[in-house]
Structure 1
Amino acid sequence: MNNDIAQLEPRELWTNFDALNAVPRASKKEDQVVAFMMDFAAGLSLDAYKDETGNIIIRKPATNGLENAMTVVMQSHLDMVHQKNNDTEFDFSTQGIKMLVDGDWVRAEGTTLGADNGIGVAATMAILASKEIAHPAIEALFTVDEETGMTGAMGLKRGILQGEILLNLDTEQDHEIDIGCAGGIDVTATKTYTEEPAPETGIPYLITVRGLQGGHSGMDIHKGLGNANKIMNRLLFQAEMHAGLRLSNLQGGSLRNAIPRESVAQVVVASDKEAAFLQCLQMAVDDIKFEYRSIEPSLAITAAKQDAVPPSVMPVAEQKALIQALYAAHNGVYKMSAALDNLVETSNNIARVSVEKGSISIQCLTRSSVETSKFDLANALRAAFELMGCDVEFSGSYPGWAPNPSSEILKLLTHVYEKQNNAKPDVVACHAGLECGILGRNYPNMDMISFGPTILGAHSPAERVSISSVQKFWKFLLEVLAHIPAKAR
């Protein structure tokens, strides 16, 4: 137990968050946390059910006086994004997250924190464990694999849940109440090529892009943050044009839903072109760092001479096609919403680029709150990658969540928020992928809403959650649960 965390208020929430963060819970590897949650329910003598996908539903009866209120589904996802800094020694498969208190923030030591969506899970655990908190009948739904495909929500069958209202506790600004979200689709381009021997007289260099902030590829896409894959490709484009470099291998980014922070390329330069290579590279670095000077002050780009020439490089034609296709492929905001102010409608994140041993793989996550726009951008990416000879696959498509401004639960949350804060909440739709849209396919009559505490830097080692915001969120949640309306007669 981390005593610094467990002493924070509300203690019942933070104690559960501390216990949860001691359990490895990577997407698609949730066996340990699923067992942890089943044991948690058994310890409380609560009815618990694990479905075929691995989702857990824990049921708790209403407290005295709220027996006639509508049943509430409290929904959060168990998995978390596993990201760490390159210089951090950490094994996500065996170690619990190392947390620390930093002023008003809780953060982790060199890794993601898991506040997304661990705070929502911990809040629900605290409600389930309490003998004092007033609440209606609860169905606590803990889904799996939200971060890498939402397969938990997709696999939840109709008829399992009986609740009339769903509280999704997975948004990241405490002044916002979310009533809609974007859908998404994975766009993956692959190609093989025949490697060529590297020029024996060539000079090997390792180009590295690092120090970028990274972040959530939906919630942070509008900020103009640097994408390591696009920055690296810009460097390679300039160096190829002016110095004819040869690319041996390239590794950039990691997770599809995280803006890539780092990229590394191994290249070979002809000895008589070394000066031109270094000169054009430095000019490109100066331009890029100037452009990102305000938003990415820690951006570092280096080119280090290596001791040994790599054994192989890409053929010139395939290399040129790759660099040009990546330059043409859209990254970032594609279209803003015409229906809601300041909402990104459609975007793309070039999340992962891998070139090695005769194989190319490019992974993108395209998001949109409008299905036709989502496929428009996905097809634009397909066109760019097919022009370089790639096979392109669309997978993992999931729908958005259409806003309902007339929602009854929205009216309750707005009333409670105004009462507690003497201000109106921001009623928004977000550009992240929430599970509400997917769950709504099998539960179309369920009134859904999403809210949560302020979390910054999700999906990156800079992730942190505000302590005072968690207190605000907790107070808000308890008041909402105490005033859930009665069932229709």
Structure 2
Amino acid sequence: MSNTIFQLEPKLIWEQFANLNAVPRPSKNEEKVIAFMMNFGNNLGFETFKDEVGNVIIRKPATPGFVNRKMITLQSHLDMVHQKNADTEFDFDTQGIQMFVEGDWVKAKGTTLGADNGLGVATIMALLKSNDIPHPPLEALFTIDEETGMTGAFGLKGGILKGDILLNLDTEEDDEIDIGCAGGIDVTAKRHYNEKSSVHGDIGFEIKVKGLKGGHSGIEIHKGLGNANKIMNRLLYTGSKYNMRVGALQGGGLRNAIPRESWCKVNLDKTHEVAFLEQFGLVAEDIKKELKVMEPNLSIIIAPSKPSKRVMGLGAQEKLVKSIYAAHNGVYAMSASIPDLVETSNNIARVQVKEGEILINCLTRSAVETAKMDLANALKSTFELAGFEVEFKGFYPGWSPNPDSEILRITKGIYKDLFKEEPKVVACHAGLECGILGQYYPNMDMVSFGPTILGAHSPDERVSISSVQKFWKFLLKILKETPVK
């Protein structure tokens, strides 16, 4: 890792971020980072404990003159999305993130950076460690498993938190104050298929779709980015005309990441080779032309390989390809009440075909609960018609905006005073834990904000250095102007 990181301002944040990024912290396997955070709080001598699901809470008394102010709960999540480029050798379970500085950006070498939500965590750590920053009573809430189900927030019981105001530090545009977010639900489709022995004399090919940008399936779903699963499926649809048979398929991964890569093994009767490759090339070029503005690095490769010994039966393969073709991906509806806000969307996040089993994972989001379920039911119907069993799980609620919030009024005023312009008061299409926490703490006043982070959930993730400085200045002024009890 570049030592330049430790020279960046504010040094207190970047030091904590570097320390945090040395600790492996995948969703659902946060034992190491939980222990790290417990040690951090105990070493500072503050009240530090974890609840029964693993969320860590640290409390720091107010500085002199701020004892009578309302307690602020600062909240961020400990886990990060683990994604890397196919040609990057990296072990997320044992290695720390390799960071470097490029202009105004901090990036990682071929992997996700962990700025989502590590910058929020590091900022809270900086406040806890500081000894010269005036502030009201502080309560730090570090949740677990936000990225794959928000189970930390769901598992947090009422009565544990003492704060009057919650500042969620998990949004990604430094000129925005968030007061609402979308809810989500996982749509998982599964079915068995009969494997068939390959025909003697068949030839094999390996197809790869790679080079896509990927990204956050909430924040960036409106950008028209390529989805590797949809692209691969279009190629397979073309190949079906030539009696092409799928041996294995693996596309995408995490439910909240727009899939960047897909890989497939196929068999083909050699008599169709010339016609198939010609048509495949035409379709591949069409796709690249369609996406050339948003996905200039898209690569579609087909190369000879050893034929698969076992392949899908034609009936099951046809149902797989047609169901994915029919399943909606991307923006489904825009909000009628909030300009430029995506209301409802779906991300076909993962497609796997292996040893007689098909698995398709989708994440459906919406700011409107009924619209979310309408799209989820549409997907369910599509896959059930193709013989899949469909399960809904991973439900999390949205966060309803409160335009009359006291902390919103305060933060808007501070932002305008500091930066001489009005902030954008928005609701976002991503999932934030505020909706869940608000169910358990309905009287807690909440807003969310953060520094500018681009490419979250992808190896292109990066955070603006100047934006972190702006964010820190904003946060410190909020702490100074926290209202009295």
Q: Is TM more than 0.5 here? A: yes
**Cα contact 1:200–1:309 (8 A) shared by 2:** no
Deviation at residue 3 of structure 1 after TM alignment: 2.4
Counterpart of 1:15 in structure 2 is: 15
**Cα contact 1:46–1:59 (8 A) shared by 2:** yes
Q: Deviations over 1:157-183 (max 9, x none)?
A: 000011110000000000010000000
Counterpart of 1:301 in structure 2 is: 300
Counterpart of 2:338 in structure 1 is: 340
Q: Deviations over 1:199-219 (max 9, x none)?
A: 111111111100000000000
Deviation at residue 286 of structure 1 after TM alignment: 1.3
Counterpart of 2:211 in structure 1 is: 211
- Separation (CA, whole Å) in 2 of partners of 1:239 and 1:284: 10
Counterpart of 2:359 in structure 1 is: 361
Counterpart of 2:233 in structure 1 is: 233
Counterpart of 1:198 in structure 2 is: 198
**Cα contact 2:327–2:379 (8 A) shared by 1:** yes
- Separation (CA, whole Å) in 2 of partners of 1:41 and 1:304: 54
Q: Which amino acid aligns with 2:163?
A: G
Counterpart of 2:393 in structure 1 is: 395
Counterpart of 1:24 in structure 2 is: 24
- Separation (CA, whole Å) in 1 of partners of 2:240 and 2:193: 19
Q: Deviations over 1:94-140 (max 9, x none)?
A: 11101001110000111000000000001100111111101110110
Deviation at residue 92 of structure 1 after TM alignment: 0.4
* Aligned pairs, number: 485
Counterpart of 1:248 in structure 2 is: 247
Deviation at residue 279 of structure 1 after TM alignment: 1.4
Q: Deviations over 1:249-280 (max 9, x none)?
A: 11000111000000011111111111111111
Q: Which amino acid aligns with 1:370?
A: V
Deviation at residue 331 of structure 1 after TM alignment: 0.3
Residue 475 (1) aligns with residue 473 (2): yes
Residue 288 (1) aligns with residue 321 (2): no
Counterpart of 2:417 in structure 1 is: 419
Counterpart of 1:320 in structure 2 is: 318
Counterpart of 1:432 in structure 2 is: 430
Deviation at residue 194 of structure 1 after TM alignment: 1.4
**Cα contact 1:2–1:18 (8 A) shared by 2:** no
SS at match of 1:101: strand
Q: Unpaired segments of 5 or more residues in structure 2?
A: none
Deviation at residue 57 of structure 1 after TM alignment: 0.6
Identity of aligned residues (%): 62
- Separation (CA, whole Å) in 1 of partners of 2:51 and 2:82: 25
Counterpart of 1:379 in structure 2 is: 377
- Separation (CA, whole Å) in 2 of partners of 1:300 and 1:86: 13
SS at match of 2:253: coil
Q: Which amino acid aligns with 1:292?
A: L
Q: Deviations over 1:317-352 (max 9, x none)?
A: 110011000000000000101110000000000000
Q: Which amino acid aligns with 1:284?
A: V
- Separation (CA, whole Å) in 1 of partners of 2:106 and 2:2: 12
**Cα contact 2:213–2:260 (8 A) shared by 1:** yes
- Separation (CA, whole Å) in 1 of partners of 2:261 and 2:41: 41
Q: Unpaired segments of 5 or more residues in structure 1?
A: none
Deviation at residue 2 of structure 1 after TM alignment: 5.0
Residue 158 (1) aligns with residue 155 (2): no
- Separation (CA, whole Å) in 2 of partners of 1:114 and 1:459: 8
Matches within 5 A, 1:103-142: 103-142=103-142
**Cα contact 2:83–2:457 (8 A) shared by 1:** yes
TM-score (norm 2): 0.99
- Separation (CA, whole Å) in 1 of partners of 2:57 and 2:254: 28
